[in-house]
Amino acid sequence: MHIPYFLSQLDKKLRWLLGFAVFGIFSLIFNLSNFSLLEIFVSSLYLLRIVVYFAVIVLLSQMRLKKENITKIRFYIKISLFIALFLSFWQYIFFPRLEPIFSLGWDRHAYRLVGPWFDAGFTGIIFVLFSLWMVKKLITKISSFKSIFSPSVLLDIFIILASVVAILLSYSRISYLALFFGLGLFVWQYFPKKGKQYLVFFYLIFAFSLPFLPQHFGEGTKLLRTSTLVARVNNLQQGWEFFLKQPVFGYGLSTLRYLRRHLGMLNPSLIRNNSASGVDNSLLFLLDTMGILGTLAFLLFILQLKRLFRSSLFIVLLFAVGIHGMATNSWFYPWVILLLGILWWEDSLSENKIL
């Protein structure tokens, strides 16, 4: 590809992402009176990081590969999934309590599968995305009943089942919902007539397995726990109040930890808490930090990504993350962003629909 032409096309594809970045910078400048220069500088680095992550996704959308290289990419993704599963089950068996790293700012997850990400919710959505992608790859391999028993198909089925077990052991209810709705949209999109009975069967098996999940002392493994629900409601109420005070420009990306500290909502000794800068709702987090203008630029950028990838799996994965983001800040979790881009890219290349 001719480099000047590539750059000119890339500039058009980055238009709304650059708009998001500009609104992010303006939000930080607008709040110079609310935060110190050091706090503004640190927050600007987080803005830069997020913009770079999404720019990588745009760059991926412009990369073409030969067929044999696409097969290699698919293999590397599966290897990554296998390693993630191995590490996650190892953590669940040998390091079931995160109490020793609580002082480093991590939550006290106990007897839950949190994987190398040390968070049950984020681990759950990562395996949801992997599972949906694996199901798509699996159905392209099955051409007859006999093909189900081929080694590669059986291995894919095993990996999918292991991923579902990992999601179950995360005890993350929002990840359950993301899997339910994501898989439902998948079946509706690919098998609108014949897939409903299989979907209902999976839902029943999944629901039937819930009462048999291991239970331990404390609320972590209780699916009907209320303490986290109350904490989330309080967090959302606080986030809504932040939005009402500065709805147009917000407070700037990743400034909420400083805002909470200035308002006396956060103990200074807990400023390292990894969840202090977020809101338990990705859309509300976006409104709080970037305001209405930055939020609109971000949503338009996501629409632009849909036109870039043309992946039939795009909406399914985006929908699952969208559901998950209603109870966590998963829209801006780096591993989720990069994984989405890689899975969209591979699926677009496989379907030969990338522009």
Q: Where are the domains of the chain?
A: 1-62+237-309, 66-225+314-328
pLDDT of residue 318: 96
pLDDT of residue 184: 94
Which tops the pLDDT comparison, 176 or 351? 176
Question: Could you read off the pLDDT of 55-93 as tens digits, one per residue?
Answer: 999 988 888 888 778 889 999 999 999 999 999 999 999
pLDDT of residue 45: 95
pLDDT of residue 1: 46
- Its pTM stands at 0.91
State yes or no: pLDDT of 179 exceeds 90: yes
Average pLDDT over residues 156-166: 96
Question: Could you read off the pLDDT of 290-299 as tens digits, one per residue?
Answer: 999 999 999 9
pLDDT of residue 355: 44
pLDDT of residue 185: 94
State yes or no: pLDDT of 348 exceeds 70: yes
Percent of the chain with pLDDT over 90: 61
pLDDT of residue 4: 53
Kindly report the average pLDDT of the chain as a whole number.
87
pLDDT of residue 275: 58
The answer to whether 171 touches 213, Cβ cutoff 8 Å, is: yes
